[in-house]
Structure formats: C-alpha cells, structure tokens
Amino acid sequence: MDDSHGDAVVHDRAKRAAVLGSPIAHSLSPVLHRAAYAELGLTGWSYDRFEIDEAALPGFVSELGPEWAGLSLTMPLKRAVIPLLDEVTQTAVSVEAVNTVVMTADGRRVGDNTDIPGMVAALREHGIEQVDSAAILGAGATASSALAALARICTGEVVAYVRSEARAAEMRQWGERLDVEIRTADWAEADRALHAPLVIATTPAGATDALAAAVPERPATLFDVLYDPWPTALAARWSMYGGAVVSGLDLLVHQAVLQVEQMTGRVPAPLEAMRKAGERALANR
C-alpha cells in the first residue's frame, strides 16, 4: 500500500463520478465537483449523489464500469469501502478511513483520504503552517483525521476533550498510532481548550454552543468543521473577539479540490470557483 496512483486518469473523455453515503441529500459535493468540471471545460463529465449504506456498497462498487473516474465517500462508508479496493494510500491507512476512490486507467480502484491534507491546506490558507500545541473538541471519526492533520503541523502536545473514558482511550490509541503527543481531558473542562493556539471542533451541530460564553478575550485560531448552519455560536463569538476562524466549508472545498485533481488529472483544480459555488449553495438553503 503506497501513495502512488498508478496510471494517469483519463482527462477529457466523458466520465462519471459521484458521492455515496447515508444520509446524502444535503451533500455539497455535487455542487463543488460540477463547478470544477465547468471551470475546467470537462463538459462531458457528470457528478451525482447516491444514497448508499454499508450493505449496498459492495454491489454498487462491483458494477462500476470503465466510464467511472472516481467516488467521494461520506459516512458510514469510509471504513466499509476499504476491503473493496485494490490499493489504499498510507494517508488513508493511517486513520482507517477512505473518502476518495480513484479508478485508474488500468482498472484498479485506489482509496485515499483527502480530509487530512485538506485540513492542512485549509489551515495553511489562513496562515497556520505550524503550532506548538493544539486542542481537539470531540473524539469521533473527524477527530482522528484532525489528529492526523496535527501530526503534520503540531510540534507539541494535543489535548482532546471527550465525553467518555472509552472515547478517551480511543483517542490515545490514535495518538500512539499517528505518533502525536496526546492527552485526554473530560468534556466538562472543554472551556480550557479555547486558550490553545489552535482549537479544532469536530463535534455535531449544537455540541459546542455552550462554550461560546467562555471564549477568551484574545482567541487564537478556531477550526470548526461544521458548515451548515454557519456560523456556529462558537465561531460567531470567536470572530467577534477577533480570532481567526477556519470553517467546515474551507475543509470541504480543499478536500474536494484534491479529489478533483486525482479524478480528472487536472492540476490545479479551480479552488475559488468551487468555493464560490459552495457559498452560493449554502446561501440558497
């Protein structure tokens, strides 16, 4: 398993791609990928969404023909797809999660994870190249990706604020696996996280609302992975106090840029056109 993608993907012939998951109706991926195709002049390309659960995934993947360029995967498929692939990159292996499948010219299915480099790119765009410590709010699948991103940019300790000892143990295991210096703390102390140079909120909508009142007077950087509804109460207060905020849309666009580049072979993908399409779609909701 390595990070090479074999033969270059076919560029201009009409190809298909799609996002799979359950639920999938609110996915912004079609908006972002179609905007990229339009900007790149890939007029014959299509990008759809399919409501697919773990039970239906093997059948769907087995029927993919040569007209397919790739797939985007969301929950609950990021781990379930791994046994169905010919190759998985080290990035995806590191968190046992694939969000991107690329069909190579020789018919192989290669799994990758663009969430991790997408997080790094979104932070870099906001001027965050390196931090000496960080905090993570939450301990789900996104938290492990956040930890993998921090393995690339954080030189010191990461503190994860979690709700249960089982989750704490899981995060410590991820830290060991990813070679990140990690400490876990109880969610009841999560207001302490807000003083870190970088705070990554990976929790569902509403989970961090109560923390908004605890935002310090001079906050540093908040990366909140949510994008709808936006801003979250925490992000709104953070901005009001002059802190830097990286949004879930930033992450979504940057990981989609990497997907488009891998699936189409076109580099660079049109970041700004994709971001504007995402912003328009969210404004219309």
Identify whether 15 is a catalytic site residue.
Answer: no
Q: Which of 15, 49, 78, 237 is catalytic?
A: 78
Contacts of 136 (CB under 8 A, 6+ apart): 143, 146, 147, 150, 158, 159, 160, 161, 171, 193, 199, 200, 202
How many angstroms separate the CA atoms of 172 and 174, rounded?
Answer: 5
Q: CB 189: neighbour CB atoms within 10 A?
A: 10
What is the side-by-side strand order in the sheet with 100-103?
46-51, 16-21, 68-73, 100-103, 109-112, 87-88
List beta partners, residue 51.
Answer: 21
Active site residues: 78
